[in-house]
Copies of this chain bind each other. A is one copy, B any other.
Amino acid sequence: MEPAAFSVGVDLGGTNLRVAAYTRERGLLETILLRTRLADGREAVAADLCAAARRLLDRYQLQFPLVGIAIGSPGPLDLPEGRLRHPPNLPGWDGFELRATVERALGLPVVVENDANVAALAECHLGVGKTLGANSLCMLTLGTGVGGGIILRGKTWDGMNGMAGEVGHLNIWTDGIACGCGGQGCLEPYASATAVRRMAGELIARGNAPGLAALQKGQPDFSAREVADLAREGDPIASDIIRRGTRALGAALAGLAHALDPELIILGGQISEAGDMLLEPVRAEVAWRSRCLLRRDVPVVRSKLVDPSGVIGAAALALEARGPKAIA
């Protein structure tokens, strides 16, 4: 029997840096978890990343052929160059040549991909996509912002500038709320955790949201989750906020379903932890908006993978990008 080939996956986050050796047959062989030393600068972080990768390469190259190395990084990114462009979660990294830096240090070709695409790829090959047998899907990560990844026939669709998958900027209200992208009425200012907190803050300031005001009094930096909890307990104002978000999300997803006709839409990120309270109204909105054109409802499901999905996704990407052939 052929020996299993291994890959090295890297999940570069603003808080944690994970580097892992992985084979398709055995899963994760070993994961190295480090803090991302942002305060020490990007070169220090890249050096940590390369040192960890080198340790794994030294250890596993004796046992298995190496297929490739891939890094999931916060965006925006120039792809396939792997150059960062004003990444909001990695301040000071603008223009950093992540791919070239790591390739030089390791002497090996490296693939860099947007972290949202890596998460989507992981869900496709190892998470809910695998469970449901779907290999063309859209994944939305509902967190501080609304990120996204598009997987078509098992591969990430990066677009022409590596910018595809920014589904948080599908427009759902032409004259709507200003968005961080510079536009207005995008999905993000309606359906992100930030949006939920902002809407709650505005209603508290107007003085007609007693439940939310009480929440804020006890916890000045309350989270979107607590607004959702309040809605679940029946607070009408909190429920309105959640309803506004789920309508926006349903409208955007119905549009995406019409444009791309995917097999599956996956919701991840902290907002998705609200579970059925989120999923049921979103599904109803999508179904209502697609009832005439689409042959069947597009399933909208919650992501399945938790940590370390990013590092597994990157390792899977390395296997996919390089194909079955090992690096000589």
B-binding residues in A (CB < 8 A): 76, 78, 85, 136, 148, 150, 152, 157-174, 180-186, 247-248, 251-252, 254-256, 258-263, 288-296
Contacts and interface: CB of A to CB of B under 8 A. Distances in A.
Contacts of A255: 169-171, 186, 255
A293 B181 contact: yes
Contacts of A291: 182
B256 A181 contact: no
A293 B262 contact: no
Contact of A148 (B166, B171, B259): B259
23 contacts: A136-B159, A150-B260, A158-B261, A159-B262, A160-B263, A162-B261, A163-B258, A163-B293, A163-B295, A164-B259, A169-B293, A170-B259, A171-B251, A171-B254, A172-B172, A172-B173, A173-B173, A174-B251, A181-B293, A182-B293, A185-B251, A186-B255, A259-B260
Nearest to A136: B160
Given A174-B248, A260-B157, A183 B295 contact: no
Q: How many copies does the complex hold?
A: 2
Given A170-B170, A251-B174, A164 B260 contact: yes
B288 A171 contact: no
Given A174-B251, A295-B78, A159 B260 contact: yes
A180 B292 contact: yes
B259 A183 contact: no
B258 A166 contact: yes
Nearest to A184: B289
